[in-house]
A and B are shown apart, each in its own frame.
Chain A
Amino acid sequence: MATLLETVDLVTDFYTYEGVVKALNKISLVVDHGATFGLVGESGCGKSVTARSIMRIVQEPGRIERGKVIVYLDEKNRQAGVDLLQQSEAYMQAFRGDCISMIFQEPNAALNPIMSIGDQVCESFLFHQKREMCAKILEDLCAPECRTFYPLRKLQRAIYRMAVHAPDTLVLKILDRIPLMKLWQKRFKKEAKRRSIEIVGKLGIPNPRQIVEQYPHNLSGGMKQRIVIAMALACSPMLLIADEATSNLDVTIQAQILELLRQLRKEVISSILLITHDLGVVAETCDRVGVMYAGNLCEVADVKDLFSKPLHPYTKALLDAVPKFSMEGTLKSIEGNVPNLVTPPPGCRFHPRCPHAMGICRMEPPILTEVRNNHLTACHLIKSGKT
């Protein structure tokens, strides 16, 4: 399969008062076109930071130090990769939400409480699809059945033609400031609203026309999550990053949202990067999984391989620690706690909790290598062949 997104040795640090938190330590992962990639790990292991680094929205005091985030938008042309970390902020603004978009962790925090749902969904249309929408309106204005008063129609046509050819001209900016003249945007906003009603309806929300007028507090948790997904999907992105999209929802609502994501992947978007701490969600929705621990990617494999034949000791321990449907005896737990990333343990970061730690684990960090067909792991134990 063709690669859509590739990160090469991504390093992100946070400069806090307590010292430099090494949140990401050379993360290299590959997301294919048409695949769902799951990223699992405990809290504080750097899952969300990975997603934010890809989008380049790491918040202060964080900084992306080194590495590459390469996006291959064209499926065939392998040369046309774009390194997002080298691009300007203006490029990124146009890029986010259009090619890659993100569903944030908590729908309550992701939605603005003082803007109506419609306005929030509209935003991405107004920003990313200005040209397409103006072209459509121009077409409507030129159509013979247009009923606007003739001189006004002529003026509007002229403005929209200008907007199609050069959306950022000075003339339009001046027009936006003149009292009556700025009403030209009315049609444009109407069109955006029409589109947002359409997308909200597509996500299985009953009577979208009413919902669009309401505010976030009027809706339930599951509904809000759907709205957040609608916002992310507005411009039909190539890659959707779902950061704990279902973590705060109830079981029945979670089932609804997962079903929706599965359906959307078939129809609208090509790839999903699913970030979660729930191994169950991963098993049900993903094709390929990366397991993270303390800022390192320790194992990457296809779902079936990972759940049937896990290699890394951490993955094994994690799988044993989850209560299962058919289970006897006591749960195994991983002793100890996640290390502090200001002073991470030397060598393999898992060695203080690892039951099979050897001398080399304390000295040298293992490198992610392909052990089996498409099954990568970073562990000295596997490399030395003592499995």
Chain B
Amino acid sequence: MQKILELKDLKKYYPILGGVLRREVNTVKAVDGIDLDIYRGECLGVVGESGCGKTTAGKTIVRLHDPTKGKIYYYGKDSGRGGRVDIGSTKKSALKKLGIRGRLQMVFQDPTTSLNPRMLAKHIIGEPIKVQKRIGGKELEERVISLLEKVGMTRDHLLRYPHEFSGGQRQRIAVARAIATDPEFIVLDEPTSALDVSVQSQILNLLKLLQETLGLTYLFITHNLLVVKYISDRTAVMYLGKIVEIGGTEDLFCNPVHPYTYALLSGIPVPDVDFVKRRIVLSGDVPSPVDPPSGCRFHTRCSFVEAMCRDEEPRLVEIEKSHRVACHRRYEIDRLMKDRFGQK
């Protein structure tokens, strides 16, 4: 498989200013060193609780934020081996000149706030085309209409303002805007969390269809695990700015290894009455990312802590093919779970 993006030790710290001179007194470690390869044509799901750095990671990848440290390599379609560009350190004007801006797009969480209320639908969708491709007039309108049709809307919707649409239609417009510049990679930041169940399934199916027809690569950020299960090929679980487990979705959901993944999976309310499961209820909250715990970041809430977990930070280690986990007790976890909860 061909890589499209490669993240190397990506870090994003937000400064906390304090004192009379507004100096930097501390930092919020939103993303604290993630290594990730994203392959062309896949859908990578990123899950985690709020405040774990999912959105920050997504925004840093498309360079809405500048990374504090680390590299984001982009491998273009036409550029062969070695033709990679570091998105993190290239100048923004250079990024635009290389045409990378248009290739990486993003769909935001809440369609009511991400669409400008004073712009018509046709201007919202047409804006990125105008900026990137420099076309206008009739041609632009034709393109906007074809985009609208791609996302299941009609030309009647061209001359309306965002408030005239329902939530689902608004999100469709946001998706149309994202695919306007023929991107290769789209960051979907909780695209369905503001929507209702019946509309959510419409949008998910639309996204799947678009991925097939346009050959897109997705980074799907969400906190809803069932949605990730449905849409993504691989899944990464984040906790406090770090990836704790990554693997094929099927594999991860059937054989989770990290205790946090276990807890997340067992926490999902399943719409099925006959489904019996072992529920692990984690105590406490996510610690503050300003001052993350030493050693393994999950040790304050983990049921299987050892002395080692408190002192040494676990690395992301491959335990099976393309299934990597950051846990000291990764080989014992199956036995520990059985001891605690009985057989599966």
Do A and B truly interact?
Answer: yes
Knowing A250-B50, A322-B226, A331-B230 are in contact, say whether A284-B282 is a contact too (CB < 8 A): no
A220 within 8 A of B: yes
In the bound complex, do residue B269 and residue A283 qualify as a contact, i.e. CB atoms below 8 Å apart? yes
Q: Which of A308, A318, A330 contacts B198 (CB 8 A)?
A: A318
Q: Which of B199, B200, B282 contacts A256 (CB 8 A)?
A: B282
Q: How far is the CA of A322 from the CA of B196 in the complex (A)?
A: 10
With a cutoff of 8 Å between Cβ atoms, the chain A residues found around residue B275 in the complex are: 283, 325
A345 to chain B, nearest CB (A): 16
Q: How far is the CA of A321 from the CA of B227 in the complex (A)?
A: 11
Interchain pairs with CB closer than 8 A, number:
122
In the bound complex, do residue A251 and residue B267 qualify as a contact, i.e. CB atoms below 8 Å apart? yes
A334 within 8 A of B: yes
Closest chain B residue, CB of each to CB of A335: B202
A188 within 8 A of B: no
In the bound complex, do residue A323 and residue B281 qualify as a contact, i.e. CB atoms below 8 Å apart? no
In the bound complex, do residue B285 and residue A223 qualify as a contact, i.e. CB atoms below 8 Å apart? yes
B199, B205, B229: most-surrounded residue (chain A CB, <10 A): B199
Interface residues of B in 226-273 (CB under 8 A from A): 226-227, 229-230, 253, 263-264, 266-273
With a cutoff of 8 Å between Cβ atoms, the chain A residues found around residue B267 in the complex are: 251-252, 254-255
Interface residues of A in 234-261 (CB under 8 A from B): 250-256, 258-259
B143 within 8 A of A: no
A246 to chain B, nearest CB (A): 9
Q: How far is the CA of A280 from the CA of B197 in the complex (A)?
A: 12
B114 within 8 A of A: no
Knowing A325-B226, A331-B205, A333-B202 are in contact, say whether A277-B197 is a contact too (CB < 8 A): yes
In the bound complex, do residue B268 and residue A307 qualify as a contact, i.e. CB atoms below 8 Å apart? no
With a cutoff of 8 Å between Cβ atoms, the chain A residues found around residue B169 in the complex are: 337
Chief secondary structure at chain A's binding surface: helix
Q: Which of A256, A303, A317, A327 contacts B273 (CB 8 A)?
A: A303
With a cutoff of 8 Å between Cβ atoms, the chain A residues found around residue B201 in the complex are: 321-323, 331-334
Interface string of A89-114 (1 = CB under 8 A from B): 00000000000000000000000000
In the bound complex, do residue A256 and residue B271 qualify as a contact, i.e. CB atoms below 8 Å apart? no
With a cutoff of 8 Å between Cβ atoms, the chain A residues found around residue B229 in the complex are: 323, 325, 327
A155 to chain B, nearest CB (A): 48
Q: Which of B200, B264, B273 contacts A252 (CB 8 A)?
A: B264
With a cutoff of 8 Å between Cβ atoms, the chain A residues found around residue B264 in the complex are: 251-252
B28 within 8 A of A: no
A159 to chain B, nearest CB (A): 44
In the bound complex, do residue A42 and residue B197 qualify as a contact, i.e. CB atoms below 8 Å apart? yes
Interface size class of A (residues with CB under 8 A): 35 or more
B204 within 8 A of A: yes
Q: How far is the CA of A298 from the CA of B168 in the complex (A)?
A: 23
Knowing A251-B268, A324-B270 are in contact, say whether A279-B197 is a contact too (CB < 8 A): yes
With a cutoff of 8 Å between Cβ atoms, the chain A residues found around residue B198 in the complex are: 42, 317-318, 321, 333-334
Closest chain A residue, CB of each to CB of B208: A330
In the bound complex, do residue A43 and residue B196 qualify as a contact, i.e. CB atoms below 8 Å apart? yes
With a cutoff of 8 Å between Cβ atoms, the chain A residues found around residue B270 in the complex are: 280, 283-284, 324-325
B298 to chain A, nearest CB (A): 11
A331 to chain B, nearest CB (A): 4
Interface residues of B in 263-309 (CB under 8 A from A): 263-264, 266-275, 279, 281-283, 285-286
B100 within 8 A of A: no
A222 within 8 A of B: yes
A78 within 8 A of B: no
In the bound complex, do residue B272 and residue A321 qualify as a contact, i.e. CB atoms below 8 Å apart? no
Interface string of A292-335 (1 = CB under 8 A from B): 00000000000110011000000001110111110100111111
Closest chain A residue, CB of each to CB of B277: A325
In the bound complex, do residue B272 and residue A307 qualify as a contact, i.e. CB atoms below 8 Å apart? yes
In the bound complex, do residue A256 and residue B50 qualify as a contact, i.e. CB atoms below 8 Å apart? no
With a cutoff of 8 Å between Cβ atoms, the chain A residues found around residue B253 in the complex are: 325
In the bound complex, do residue B269 and residue A258 qualify as a contact, i.e. CB atoms below 8 Å apart? yes
Closest chain A residue, CB of each to CB of B275: A325
Interface string of B165-176 (1 = CB under 8 A from A): 010110000000
Knowing A42-B198, A318-B197, A333-B201 are in contact, say whether A220-B285 is a contact too (CB < 8 A): yes
Q: How far is the CA of A191 from the CA of B201 in the complex (A)?
A: 52
In the bound complex, do residue B196 and residue A278 qualify as a contact, i.e. CB atoms below 8 Å apart? no
B49 within 8 A of A: yes
In the bound complex, do residue A281 and residue B269 qualify as a contact, i.e. CB atoms below 8 Å apart? yes
In the bound complex, do residue B273 and residue A283 qualify as a contact, i.e. CB atoms below 8 Å apart? yes
Interface residues of B in 172-215 (CB under 8 A from A): 196-202, 204-205, 208
Closest chain B residue, CB of each to CB of A251: B267
B223 within 8 A of A: yes
A325 to chain B, nearest CB (A): 6
Q: How far is the CA of A250 from the CA of B169 in the complex (A)?
A: 26
Q: How far is the CA of A371 from the CA of B75 in the complex (A)?
A: 61
With a cutoff of 8 Å between Cβ atoms, the chain B residues found around residue A277 in the complex are: 196-197
Knowing A330-B208, A331-B204, A333-B202 are in contact, say whether A323-B269 is a contact too (CB < 8 A): no
Q: Which of A221, A259, A282, A303 contacts B281 (CB 8 A)?
A: A259
Q: Would you list 18 pairs from A and B whose C-beta atoms are within 8 A, ordered by A residue? A: A250-B50, A252-B49, A252-B263, A253-B49, A255-B279, A280-B226, A280-B270, A282-B271, A283-B273, A303-B273, A304-B273, A323-B204, A323-B229, A327-B229, A327-B230, A331-B201, A337-B168, A338-B166
New A-B pairs, 6, CB < 8 Å, besides A252-B264, A256-B282, A331-B230 = A251-B223, A251-B268, A255-B282, A321-B198, A323-B229, A324-B226
Q: Nearest 8 A-B pairs (CB), nearest first?
A: A280-B269, A333-B201, A279-B271, A255-B267, A250-B49, A334-B198, A323-B230, A42-B196
- Please give the residue numbers on chain A whose beta carbons come within 8 Å of chain B beta carbons, in ascending order: 42-43, 220-223, 250-256, 258-259, 277-284, 303-304, 307-308, 317-319, 321-325, 327, 330-335, 337-338
